[in-house]
Amino acid sequence: MTLIEKLEPILLAVAALIGLALGHFSGLSGQLGPWLQILLILMLIGVFWDIPFKELKKGFSHLKFSLTSLAINFIWIPIFGFLLAKIFLSSSNDLQIGFIMFLVTPCTDWYLVFTAMARGNLALSASILPLNLILQLLLLPVYLWLFGGLAGKSEPLYLLWQVVLVLFVPLLVARMLSALSAQRPKLNQVLRGLFPGLRFWYLFLAVLCMFAGQGQTILERPDIFLWLLVPVLAFFILNFWLVRLISALMGFNYEDSVSLNLTTLARNSPVALSVAIGAFPDQPLIALALIIGPLIELPSLALLANFLPGLGPPRAPGAEPSGPPGPGGL
Protein backbone atom coordinates (compact mmCIF):
# COMPACT_ATOMS: atom_id res chain seq x y z
CA MET A 1 0.00 0.00 0.00
CA THR A 2 1.44 3.36 -1.02
CA LEU A 3 1.50 6.40 1.26
CA ILE A 4 -1.33 7.99 -0.77
CA GLU A 5 -3.46 4.85 -0.32
CA LYS A 6 -2.82 4.87 3.43
CA LEU A 7 -3.84 8.52 3.67
CA GLU A 8 -6.74 8.32 1.19
CA PRO A 9 -9.63 8.72 3.69
CA ILE A 10 -7.90 11.64 5.41
CA LEU A 11 -7.07 13.32 2.09
CA LEU A 12 -10.67 12.97 0.91
CA ALA A 13 -11.82 14.61 4.13
CA VAL A 14 -9.33 17.41 3.41
CA ALA A 15 -10.78 17.74 -0.12
CA ALA A 16 -14.25 18.09 1.39
CA LEU A 17 -13.04 20.80 3.78
CA ILE A 18 -11.27 22.72 0.99
CA GLY A 19 -14.43 22.45 -1.11
CA LEU A 20 -16.56 23.79 1.74
CA ALA A 21 -14.22 26.76 2.14
CA LEU A 22 -14.17 27.49 -1.59
CA GLY A 23 -17.92 27.24 -1.84
CA HIS A 24 -18.40 29.55 1.10
CA PHE A 25 -15.94 32.26 0.07
CA SER A 26 -15.86 32.12 -3.75
CA GLY A 27 -19.48 31.73 -4.84
CA LEU A 28 -18.75 28.64 -6.97
CA SER A 29 -22.03 26.96 -6.08
CA GLY A 30 -23.81 25.64 -9.17
CA GLN A 31 -20.89 26.23 -11.54
CA LEU A 32 -18.92 23.00 -11.17
CA GLY A 33 -21.34 20.37 -12.48
CA PRO A 34 -19.61 19.69 -15.84
CA TRP A 35 -16.19 19.48 -14.18
CA LEU A 36 -17.57 17.04 -11.65
CA GLN A 37 -18.80 14.64 -14.33
CA ILE A 38 -15.52 14.81 -16.28
CA LEU A 39 -13.45 14.11 -13.16
CA LEU A 40 -15.63 11.12 -12.22
CA ILE A 41 -15.25 9.59 -15.69
CA LEU A 42 -11.47 10.04 -15.61
CA MET A 43 -11.24 8.56 -12.12
CA LEU A 44 -13.34 5.50 -12.93
CA ILE A 45 -11.39 4.78 -16.10
CA GLY A 46 -8.36 4.47 -13.81
CA VAL A 47 -10.24 2.23 -11.36
CA PHE A 48 -11.41 -0.11 -14.11
CA TRP A 49 -8.12 -0.20 -16.03
CA ASP A 50 -6.78 -3.38 -14.45
CA ILE A 51 -9.89 -5.38 -13.58
CA PRO A 52 -8.50 -8.95 -13.57
CA PHE A 53 -11.18 -10.77 -15.55
CA LYS A 54 -8.68 -13.57 -16.31
CA GLU A 55 -8.35 -14.28 -12.58
CA LEU A 56 -12.04 -15.04 -12.00
CA LYS A 57 -11.47 -18.81 -11.96
CA LYS A 58 -9.13 -18.49 -8.98
CA GLY A 59 -12.02 -17.15 -6.93
CA PHE A 60 -13.65 -20.56 -7.10
CA SER A 61 -10.53 -22.61 -6.32
CA HIS A 62 -11.74 -22.72 -2.70
CA LEU A 63 -15.45 -23.10 -3.37
CA LYS A 64 -16.64 -23.23 0.24
CA PHE A 65 -14.75 -20.06 1.15
CA SER A 66 -15.84 -18.17 -1.97
CA LEU A 67 -19.53 -19.01 -1.64
CA THR A 68 -19.51 -18.16 2.07
CA SER A 69 -17.79 -14.83 1.43
CA LEU A 70 -20.12 -13.89 -1.43
CA ALA A 71 -23.22 -14.80 0.57
CA ILE A 72 -22.11 -12.62 3.49
CA ASN A 73 -20.99 -9.70 1.31
CA PHE A 74 -23.88 -9.56 -1.12
CA ILE A 75 -26.87 -11.00 0.76
CA TRP A 76 -26.38 -10.67 4.51
CA ILE A 77 -24.54 -7.33 4.67
CA PRO A 78 -27.06 -5.37 2.51
CA ILE A 79 -29.88 -6.63 4.75
CA PHE A 80 -27.90 -5.94 7.93
CA GLY A 81 -26.88 -2.50 6.66
CA PHE A 82 -30.48 -1.59 5.87
CA LEU A 83 -31.56 -2.59 9.39
CA LEU A 84 -28.75 -0.58 11.01
CA ALA A 85 -29.61 2.44 8.84
CA LYS A 86 -33.28 2.31 9.84
CA ILE A 87 -32.41 1.93 13.54
CA PHE A 88 -29.65 4.53 13.89
CA LEU A 89 -30.13 6.97 10.99
CA SER A 90 -33.90 7.23 10.69
CA SER A 91 -33.75 11.03 10.95
CA SER A 92 -31.90 11.41 7.60
CA ASN A 93 -32.73 9.58 4.38
CA ASP A 94 -29.49 10.80 2.80
CA LEU A 95 -27.31 9.43 5.59
CA GLN A 96 -29.20 6.14 5.40
CA ILE A 97 -28.50 5.61 1.72
CA GLY A 98 -24.88 6.79 2.05
CA PHE A 99 -24.35 4.35 4.91
CA ILE A 100 -25.90 1.50 2.91
CA MET A 101 -23.76 2.32 -0.13
CA PHE A 102 -20.69 2.26 2.13
CA LEU A 103 -21.56 -1.24 3.37
CA VAL A 104 -22.65 -2.92 0.12
CA THR A 105 -19.34 -2.27 -1.69
CA PRO A 106 -16.59 -4.57 -0.39
CA CYS A 107 -13.04 -3.24 -0.31
CA THR A 108 -10.88 -4.23 -3.28
CA ASP A 109 -7.43 -3.10 -2.18
CA TRP A 110 -6.24 -2.39 1.36
CA TYR A 111 -8.01 -5.35 3.02
CA LEU A 112 -5.04 -7.36 1.74
CA VAL A 113 -2.70 -5.27 3.90
CA PHE A 114 -4.71 -5.99 7.03
CA THR A 115 -4.96 -9.67 6.10
CA ALA A 116 -1.18 -9.83 5.95
CA MET A 117 -0.87 -7.99 9.29
CA ALA A 118 -3.19 -10.54 10.95
CA ARG A 119 -1.35 -13.51 9.36
CA GLY A 120 -4.32 -14.59 7.27
CA ASN A 121 -4.42 -16.53 4.00
CA LEU A 122 -3.27 -13.77 1.65
CA ALA A 123 -3.54 -15.85 -1.53
CA LEU A 124 -7.12 -16.80 -0.68
CA SER A 125 -8.04 -13.18 0.07
CA ALA A 126 -6.55 -12.03 -3.25
CA SER A 127 -8.44 -14.72 -5.16
CA ILE A 128 -11.81 -13.29 -4.12
CA LEU A 129 -10.94 -9.73 -5.18
CA PRO A 130 -12.08 -9.87 -8.85
CA LEU A 131 -15.35 -11.52 -7.86
CA ASN A 132 -16.05 -8.83 -5.27
CA LEU A 133 -15.24 -6.05 -7.72
CA ILE A 134 -17.34 -7.36 -10.59
CA LEU A 135 -20.32 -8.30 -8.42
CA GLN A 136 -20.42 -4.92 -6.74
CA LEU A 137 -20.48 -3.26 -10.17
CA LEU A 138 -23.41 -5.42 -11.21
CA LEU A 139 -25.32 -5.29 -7.93
CA LEU A 140 -24.91 -1.66 -6.88
CA PRO A 141 -27.67 -0.52 -9.29
CA VAL A 142 -29.88 -3.28 -7.86
CA TYR A 143 -29.26 -2.15 -4.28
CA LEU A 144 -29.99 1.44 -5.23
CA TRP A 145 -33.23 0.32 -6.84
CA LEU A 146 -34.18 -1.69 -3.74
CA PHE A 147 -33.22 1.05 -1.30
CA GLY A 148 -33.62 4.00 -3.66
CA GLY A 149 -36.78 5.19 -1.95
CA LEU A 150 -34.57 6.31 0.92
CA ALA A 151 -32.97 8.89 -1.36
CA GLY A 152 -36.28 10.49 -2.19
CA LYS A 153 -36.06 9.60 -5.87
CA SER A 154 -39.46 9.32 -7.51
CA GLU A 155 -38.06 7.86 -10.75
CA PRO A 156 -36.08 4.72 -9.86
CA LEU A 157 -35.51 3.74 -13.50
CA TYR A 158 -33.93 7.12 -14.19
CA LEU A 159 -31.73 6.70 -11.11
CA LEU A 160 -30.62 3.24 -12.24
CA TRP A 161 -29.86 4.58 -15.72
CA GLN A 162 -27.64 7.26 -14.22
CA VAL A 163 -25.79 4.63 -12.18
CA VAL A 164 -25.28 2.47 -15.26
CA LEU A 165 -23.83 5.46 -17.13
CA VAL A 166 -21.52 6.33 -14.23
CA LEU A 167 -20.25 2.75 -13.96
CA PHE A 168 -20.31 1.07 -17.33
CA VAL A 169 -19.32 3.84 -19.77
CA PRO A 170 -15.97 4.31 -17.98
CA LEU A 171 -15.61 0.52 -17.78
CA LEU A 172 -15.96 0.16 -21.55
CA VAL A 173 -13.59 3.07 -22.22
CA ALA A 174 -11.03 1.64 -19.80
CA ARG A 175 -11.07 -1.81 -21.38
CA MET A 176 -10.83 -0.36 -24.90
CA LEU A 177 -7.87 1.89 -24.05
CA SER A 178 -6.15 -0.89 -22.13
CA ALA A 179 -6.50 -3.30 -25.06
CA LEU A 180 -5.40 -0.63 -27.55
CA SER A 181 -2.20 0.13 -25.65
CA ALA A 182 -1.36 -3.44 -24.59
CA GLN A 183 1.13 -3.94 -27.46
CA ARG A 184 2.42 -0.36 -27.46
CA PRO A 185 4.70 0.11 -24.41
CA LYS A 186 5.15 3.89 -24.76
CA LEU A 187 1.43 4.53 -25.27
CA ASN A 188 0.63 2.17 -22.41
CA GLN A 189 3.01 4.06 -20.11
CA VAL A 190 1.44 7.40 -20.99
CA LEU A 191 -2.15 6.17 -20.59
CA ARG A 192 -1.41 4.38 -17.33
CA GLY A 193 0.10 7.59 -16.02
CA LEU A 194 -3.00 9.58 -17.02
CA PHE A 195 -5.62 7.15 -15.71
CA PRO A 196 -4.52 4.63 -13.02
CA GLY A 197 -1.64 6.89 -12.01
CA LEU A 198 -3.87 9.90 -11.33
CA ARG A 199 -6.98 7.99 -10.22
CA PHE A 200 -6.95 9.24 -6.64
CA TRP A 201 -6.35 12.88 -7.60
CA TYR A 202 -9.32 12.87 -9.98
CA LEU A 203 -11.45 11.62 -7.07
CA PHE A 204 -9.89 14.23 -4.76
CA LEU A 205 -10.86 17.03 -7.17
CA ALA A 206 -14.34 15.55 -7.72
CA VAL A 207 -15.00 15.53 -3.98
CA LEU A 208 -13.68 19.09 -3.76
CA CYS A 209 -15.99 20.23 -6.58
CA MET A 210 -19.05 18.59 -5.10
CA PHE A 211 -18.54 20.07 -1.65
CA ALA A 212 -17.77 23.49 -3.12
CA GLY A 213 -21.14 23.38 -4.86
CA GLN A 214 -23.18 21.96 -1.96
CA GLY A 215 -21.41 23.33 1.09
CA GLN A 216 -24.34 25.03 2.78
CA THR A 217 -26.25 21.78 3.28
CA ILE A 218 -23.26 20.18 5.00
CA LEU A 219 -22.43 23.16 7.18
CA GLU A 220 -25.90 22.83 8.63
CA ARG A 221 -25.06 19.30 9.89
CA PRO A 222 -21.87 19.37 12.00
CA ASP A 223 -23.11 16.35 13.97
CA ILE A 224 -22.85 13.87 11.10
CA PHE A 225 -19.67 12.14 12.32
CA LEU A 226 -21.29 11.29 15.66
CA TRP A 227 -24.45 10.06 13.94
CA LEU A 228 -22.42 7.66 11.79
CA LEU A 229 -20.02 6.52 14.51
CA VAL A 230 -22.49 4.22 16.29
CA PRO A 231 -23.87 2.29 13.26
CA VAL A 232 -20.43 1.89 11.67
CA LEU A 233 -18.94 0.52 14.90
CA ALA A 234 -22.02 -1.67 15.40
CA PHE A 235 -21.48 -3.12 11.92
CA PHE A 236 -17.82 -3.96 12.61
CA ILE A 237 -18.35 -5.44 16.07
CA LEU A 238 -21.46 -7.51 15.33
CA ASN A 239 -20.30 -8.67 11.92
CA PHE A 240 -16.88 -9.63 13.27
CA TRP A 241 -18.31 -12.03 15.84
CA LEU A 242 -20.91 -13.40 13.42
CA VAL A 243 -18.23 -14.19 10.82
CA ARG A 244 -16.07 -15.80 13.54
CA LEU A 245 -19.01 -18.08 14.35
CA ILE A 246 -19.63 -18.86 10.68
CA SER A 247 -15.92 -19.66 10.21
CA ALA A 248 -16.07 -22.10 13.10
CA LEU A 249 -19.21 -23.79 11.79
CA MET A 250 -17.66 -24.05 8.31
CA GLY A 251 -14.49 -25.60 9.76
CA PHE A 252 -12.11 -22.87 8.54
CA ASN A 253 -8.64 -22.78 10.09
CA TYR A 254 -7.17 -19.60 11.56
CA GLU A 255 -5.68 -18.28 8.30
CA ASP A 256 -8.86 -18.82 6.28
CA SER A 257 -11.06 -17.38 9.03
CA VAL A 258 -8.95 -14.19 9.08
CA SER A 259 -9.36 -13.89 5.32
CA LEU A 260 -13.12 -14.33 5.61
CA ASN A 261 -13.33 -11.79 8.42
CA LEU A 262 -11.42 -9.09 6.58
CA THR A 263 -13.01 -9.64 3.17
CA THR A 264 -16.42 -9.21 4.81
CA LEU A 265 -15.51 -6.32 7.11
CA ALA A 266 -13.39 -4.03 4.90
CA ARG A 267 -15.52 -1.57 2.94
CA ASN A 268 -14.78 1.71 1.14
CA SER A 269 -14.90 1.24 -2.59
CA PRO A 270 -14.17 4.36 -4.68
CA VAL A 271 -16.90 3.10 -6.98
CA ALA A 272 -19.57 3.80 -4.36
CA LEU A 273 -18.33 7.34 -3.74
CA SER A 274 -18.25 8.01 -7.47
CA VAL A 275 -21.82 6.78 -7.89
CA ALA A 276 -22.95 8.89 -4.92
CA ILE A 277 -21.42 12.02 -6.43
CA GLY A 278 -22.71 11.30 -9.94
CA ALA A 279 -26.19 10.00 -9.13
CA PHE A 280 -26.95 12.31 -6.17
CA PRO A 281 -25.16 15.60 -6.96
CA ASP A 282 -27.74 17.61 -5.01
CA GLN A 283 -27.59 15.38 -1.90
CA PRO A 284 -24.04 15.81 -0.56
CA LEU A 285 -24.77 14.10 2.76
CA ILE A 286 -24.79 10.78 0.86
CA ALA A 287 -21.23 11.35 -0.32
CA LEU A 288 -20.22 12.66 3.09
CA ALA A 289 -21.30 9.39 4.71
CA LEU A 290 -18.99 7.56 2.28
CA ILE A 291 -16.09 9.81 3.28
CA ILE A 292 -16.66 9.61 7.03
CA GLY A 293 -17.16 5.82 7.01
CA PRO A 294 -13.52 5.00 6.18
CA LEU A 295 -12.28 7.43 8.83
CA ILE A 296 -13.92 5.10 11.36
CA GLU A 297 -13.17 1.92 9.43
CA LEU A 298 -9.39 2.12 9.06
CA PRO A 299 -8.48 2.49 12.74
CA SER A 300 -10.98 -0.31 13.49
CA LEU A 301 -9.35 -2.66 10.96
CA ALA A 302 -5.86 -1.81 12.22
CA LEU A 303 -6.89 -2.69 15.78
CA LEU A 304 -8.58 -5.85 14.58
CA ALA A 305 -5.52 -7.00 12.61
CA ASN A 306 -3.47 -6.79 15.81
CA PHE A 307 -6.22 -8.36 17.91
CA LEU A 308 -6.94 -11.43 15.76
CA PRO A 309 -3.69 -13.41 16.29
CA GLY A 310 -4.30 -13.44 20.03
CA LEU A 311 -7.75 -14.98 19.53
CA GLY A 312 -6.45 -18.01 17.67
CA PRO A 313 -8.65 -20.20 15.44
CA PRO A 314 -12.42 -19.74 15.65
CA ARG A 315 -14.28 -22.44 17.51
CA ALA A 316 -17.89 -23.47 17.61
CA PRO A 317 -19.82 -23.06 20.88
CA GLY A 318 -18.79 -25.80 23.31
CA ALA A 319 -15.61 -26.72 21.45
CA GLU A 320 -12.25 -26.91 23.23
CA PRO A 321 -10.06 -23.81 22.76
CA SER A 322 -6.84 -24.13 20.79
CA GLY A 323 -3.64 -22.14 20.78
CA PRO A 324 -2.76 -19.07 18.71
CA PRO A 325 -1.82 -19.49 15.04
CA GLY A 326 1.62 -20.45 13.89
CA PRO A 327 3.72 -18.39 11.49
CA GLY A 328 2.41 -20.17 8.40
CA GLY A 329 -0.50 -17.82 7.70
CA LEU A 330 1.48 -15.96 5.04
What is the structure's pLDDT at 137? 83
CA distance 13 to 298: 14
Please state the pTM of the whole predicted model: 0.78
Residues sharing a CB contact under 8 Å with residue 169, sequence separation 6 or more, in sequence order: 41
What is the structure's pLDDT at 67? 94
What is the structure's pLDDT at 168? 80
What is the structure's pLDDT at 131? 87
What is the structure's pLDDT at 52? 67
CA distance 186 to 145: 43
What is the structure's pLDDT at 167? 75
Please give the chain's pLDDT, 330 residues, in tens: 567 766 777 888 888 888 878 877 766 655 666 777 788 788 888 878 877 666 667 767 788 999 999 999 999 999 999 999 999 999 888 899 999 999 999 987 778 888 988 999 988 888 888 888 888 888 888 887 777 655 555 455 666 676 677 778 888 899 899 889 988 999 999 999 999 889 889 888 888 887 786 666 666 777 888 899 999 999 999 999 999 999 999 999 999 999 999 999 999 767 788 888 877 877 888 888 988 888 888 888 888 988 888 888 887 666 555 555 554 443
Q: Name all contacts of 202-205 with Cβ < 8 Å and 24+ positions apart.
A: 202/39, 202/40, 202/42, 202/43, 202/46, 203/12, 203/39, 203/43, 203/270, 203/273, 203/274, 204/11, 204/12, 204/15, 205/15, 205/35, 205/39
What is the structure's pLDDT at 55? 62
Domains of the chain: 7-314 (1.20.1530.20)
What is the structure's pLDDT at 283? 82
What is the structure's pLDDT at 48? 80
